[in-house]
Amino acid sequence: MGWYVGLISGTSMDAIDAVVVDFAASPLRIHAAGASEYPRELAQRLAAVLDGDHAVPLDAIGRLDVDVGRAFAHATNALLERAGIAPDAIDAIGSHGQTLRHHIAPPSPFSWQIGDPNVIAELTGVTVVADFRRRDVAAGGQGAPLVPLFHDGVFRSDAEDRVIVNVGGIANLTVLRRDTPLRGFDTGPGNRLMDAWAQRQRGEPFDRDGAFAASGRCDAVLLALLLTEPYLALPAPKSTGRELFNLAWLDARLDTHRAKGHGISPADVQATLREYTAETIARAAADAAPGAALYVCGGGAHNPGLLDSLRRRAAPSRIATTAALGLDPDFVEAAAFAFFAYRTLAGLPSSAASVTGARGARVLGGIYRGAPRGRA
């Protein structure tokens, strides 16, 4: 094992996270890490495809695939340059890409990530492993979440039961109980609904420090309505995305709420969405691992109001971030895809059937060999 780069842009689509990880070290060591924002024009084009209700020309998707690949390559080259690491010191890049769609319902389930790995390999000169989810889906799995296998390798403890809570756009749990096999699943919205509502109401990409939510109060009636979402009651394995939890979904429930004579301010909606995320996580964790300690990673780890709500709703379980376990909560997921690149090149599986429901563990991802660096 050597040095690997991990790249991911999640469902929040706020930035490309990049890390350089040394898996030969014990415990593993993150040598360098950083986040690169998408160029504004590219972010706007992505948002139009992800959230628009109109048909999208094939040419537009093809260009996005190339341009996202270029953005991922730029994030890699910039990180290596800042860290003073030569590209030939890197064994491989694990690139998650940017998810366009995640539809797992029959008869033709699929998960689709873009960010052409050929472009990344050409512009960095480093071998790229990408397209991690589709093999698991082809094997009858959800294709998500994948990170529990990584969490199992770096966070499992013989001293306590743990639940790793990744709060990105969608929230997912990894259940690390000492008496049961590895489990994991998407609980529902993480930051996605809060981010979308903050964007609509304030023109801001997210609720910085949870201040917007803190200015309002949770509406118990609306919260109860949101908690009737059928996805929440489905058994694992299960996964979801912004295809379900989006502003259209929220607007339909706000319309129902108002039709029953309930008025609500924008700040109160934000506060209720914060409690909705916390409650869905807390309920899922309590059902899967009663009394386990919860360790939070992802963007939600920076929302103090959300963490306070989670502490209240998950009490008496301990709540901390993965920093307490030695990994920066901002870069756990990117490190996971560096880990998956290593496993793919070693011919080792990166999926866990107990998590995704696939017919068995599979070696994930395609390999795109590096070459001398080109120019964008």
Whole-number pLDDT of residue 373 = 60
Q: Which tokens in the block code for residue 248?
A: 């259209």
pLDDT digits (tens, 9 = 90+) for 20-47: 999 887 788 899 999 999 998 998 899 8
The matching CATH number, chosen from 3.30.420.40, 1.10.599.10, 1.10.10.10, 3.30.565.10, for 148-317 is 3.30.420.40
Query: With b meaning 16 or more CB within 10 Å and e meaning fewer, what string describes 88-105?
Result: eebbbbbbbbbbbebebe
Residue 214 identity (one-letter amino acid): A
What ranges do the domains of the chain cover?
3-143+331-368, 148-317
Domains 3-143+331-368 and 148-317 in one fold = yes
Whole-number pLDDT of residue 29 = 86
Whole-number pLDDT of residue 25 = 76
CA distance 335 to 124: 18
Q: In which residue ranges of the chain is pLDDT below 50?
A: 375-376
What is the pTM assigned to this prediction?
0.94
CATH class of the 3-143+331-368 domain in this structure? alpha beta
Q: How far is CA 359 from the centre of its chain?
A: 23
Whole-number pLDDT of residue 74 = 97
Whole-number pLDDT of residue 27 = 81
Whole-number pLDDT of residue 55 = 80
DSSP at 303: -
Cα distances (angstroms) measured from residue 296 to each of 281, 318, 361: 11, 11, 26
CB 131 within 8 A of CB 350: no
CB 310 within 8 A of CB 281: yes
Select from 143, 140, 76 the least CA-distant residue to 360.
140
Whole-number pLDDT of residue 23 = 85
